Amino acid sequence: AQSVTQLDSHVSVSEGTPVLLRCNYSSSYSPSLFWYVQHPNKGLQLLLKYTSAATLVKGINGFEAEFKKSETSFHLTKPSAHMSDAAEYFCVVSPSGGSYIPTFGRGTSLIVHP
């Protein structure tokens, strides 16, 4: 079985400073990993995905994530936060063994101060 742990429920940064949202996963196989963003009262939008190609994955809006198998991590980063980045972020691992249910982390709320 797989699991996802988002290590911070809230992250607070100032505009223009770097963003780091942490995600650790547990999986008995080589997983696909995803980051989603959800703005208030909106659906989730895919930011980026890792599917066993390059370990450094670039996504939309300047975000990127690095897959580190040795650390079982898939942290999301951005060099410079913008006010519009304030949202909820979810780390997701694809299912295994014929399941159709991806596993979502509990989410990290990113707060951006002016």
The residues that touch another protein, with contacts defined as CB under 8 A, are 32-34, 36, 41-46, 49, 51, 90, 92-95, 99-102, 104-107
Asked whether the beta carbons of 76 and 87 are under 8 A apart, the reply is no
Q: How far is the CB of 22 from another protein (least distance, A)?
A: 16
Tally of CA atoms within 13 A in the half-sphere of 58 that contains its CB: 3
Q: Which phi and psi (to 5°) does residue 18 adopt?
A: -70, 155
As a residue count, the chain comes to: 114
To another protein, the closest distance from the beta carbon of 82 in angstroms equals 22
Number of helices and strands in the chain (H, E): 0, 12
Nearer to another protein, 34 or 63 (CB): 34
How far is residue 89's CA from residue 105's CA, in Å, rounded to a whole number? 9
| Residue with Cβ nearer another protein (42 or 113) | 42
Q: Which is nearer to another protein, 15 or 102 (CB)?
A: 102
Is the CB of 56 or the CB of 101 nearer to another protein? 101
User: Whole-number minimum distance, CB 2 to another protein, in Å?
Assistant: 10
